[in-house]
Structure 1
């Protein structure tokens, strides 16, 4: 396993870390499916333990993943490994309970206390604002930022992070939240975050911010493991059930685009895991990726994607094939 420092945060993490959304299981928010089906708690715990054995030291979760279930599974894991060797990240911002907004300062504090209880720990290494919704006209933005810094002073949070979904949103809130780590969606299919006018990698690198990338495998779509003639079906509470990418037509198109990648780098799923992970990592020396998992086998596959980088020409080839750029 290779390791990277997340910019000025000083956090040293495995370049392939783990996203723990899927182990939260099925869940809903405002009537919409936002979880994953097919999880098993014992398999999840075995995956976490295997990750630690393989040198993965950074685990990313959130209060909303299974409404705390992901955190509680990780809490079981933390009882069996040295806490000081693990970097635990969680987030606040999608689950609002009875508060008018999830970023209301009192709610942020309450959620952190619940998160710490779920995780069986007394501090988070990294705590994110999960989104940039701070209420109408950013009503709670300044107070939320002040609350997070107060929690940092209290020793309950080591590093503050900001997750988001649009370049303009990051530009709007980061001067107030002042994060040391950014988290956003990125993979080889393309993203506005690496375009000339909205290059978040460049912006972050200039400020020595750490970068954590979720979705590097595009929920398995970059691995060409789904059969177009028999598209996968997902159960209730699974966010993928509403994703049009899992249709026959879309899967055929993805297979076509991946053809040249498979010809050059190898046609096995593991070959594509390596290409997808290393393409994302190539965007910044301060970045790590957090692919998801449900079991030890998937953890091992993710881990094998580490330590074998793409060179600049190979990354350009992948970009050109998959994005037409």
Structure 2
């Protein structure tokens, strides 16, 4: 396993870290599925143990993943390993409970305390604003940022992070939240964050910010693991059930795009894992990826992509063939 420092945060993390959304299980938010089906807590714990043995030290979760279930599973794991050898990240912002807005300062403090209980620890290494919804006209933005910094002073939070879903949202709130780490969605299919006028990698590097990238495997689509003739069916509470990428037409299109990648790098799953993992890592030396998992074999597969960087020529090739 290779390690990277997340910019000015000083956090040293495995370049392949672990996203713990799927182990939270099925869940809903305002009637819409926002979780994952098919999880098993024993398999999840086995995966966490395997990750630690393979040198993965950074585990990313959130209060909303299974409404705390992901955090509680990690809490069981943390009883088995030295706390100071792990970097634990969680988030606040999607679960609002009875608060008018999830970023209301008193709610942030409550959720932080609940996350500490769930995880069985007395501090969070990396605590994120999970989104940029700070209420109408950002009414809670400044108070929320002040609350985070107070939690930091109290020693309950080591590093403040900001997650968001558009370049404009990052630019709007970061001057106030002043994060040391950014988290956003990115994989080899590309998106707005690598475009000339909205290149968040470039901006983050200029600020020496850490970068944590979720979705590097595109929910398995970059591994060509789904049969277009028999598109996958997902259980209740699974966010993938509404993803149009899992239709026969889209799966066939993706398979066609991946063919040149297979010819160049190999067609085995581990070959495609390497491409999927290393492409986003090539965008910044301050970045790590957090692929998800449900069991130990998936963790082992994810970790196999570490330590095999792509050349600049490889990166250009992948960008050209996958963008279409």
The reply to whether TM is greater than 0.5 is yes
1:75 Cα deviation (Å)?
A: 0.0
CA deviation digits over 1:60-90, x for unaligned, max 9? 0000000000000000000000000000000
SS of residue matched to 1:226: coil
| Correspondence for 2:79 | 79
| Correspondence for 2:305 | 305
| Correspondence for 1:129 | 129
1:53 Cα deviation (Å)?
A: 0.2
The two structures, once aligned, show a CA RMSD in angstroms of: 0.3
- With structure 1 as the length reference, what TM-score do the two structures score? 0.99
| Distance of 1:83 and 1:312 partners within structure 2 | 37
1:174 Cα deviation (Å)?
A: 0.1
1:19 Cα deviation (Å)?
A: 0.1
1:173 Cα deviation (Å)?
A: 0.1
| Distance of 1:19 and 1:187 partners within structure 2 | 14
Superposition pairs of residues 168-179 of structure 1, within 5 angstroms: 168-179=168-179
| Distance of 1:76 and 1:191 partners within structure 2 | 36
1:270 Cα deviation (Å)?
A: 1.0
1:168 Cα deviation (Å)?
A: 0.3
| Distance of 2:308 and 2:243 partners within structure 1 | 31
CA deviation digits over 1:101-159, x for unaligned, max 9? 00000000000000000000000000000000000000000000000000000000000
Superposition pairs of residues 97-176 of structure 1, within 5 angstroms: 97-176=97-176
| Correspondence for 1:197 | 197
Superposition pairs of residues 275-286 of structure 1, within 5 angstroms: 275-286=275-286
| Correspondence for 2:291 | 291
| Correspondence for 1:182 | 182
| Distance of 1:238 and 1:288 partners within structure 2 | 25
| Distance of 1:309 and 1:245 partners within structure 2 | 28
| Distance of 2:182 and 2:188 partners within structure 1 | 19
CA deviation digits over 1:150-199, x for unaligned, max 9? 00000000000000000000000000000000000000111100000000
1:23 Cα deviation (Å)?
A: 0.1
| Correspondence for 1:208 | 208
SS of residue matched to 1:193: helix
SS of residue matched to 2:308: coil
| Distance of 1:262 and 1:195 partners within structure 2 | 25
| Distance of 1:269 and 1:246 partners within structure 2 | 18
SS of residue matched to 2:300: helix
SS of residue matched to 1:75: helix
Whether 1:47 aligns to 2:47 is yes
| Distance of 1:35 and 1:97 partners within structure 2 | 17
Number of residues paired by the alignment? 324
SS of residue matched to 1:288: strand
| Correspondence for 2:70 | 70
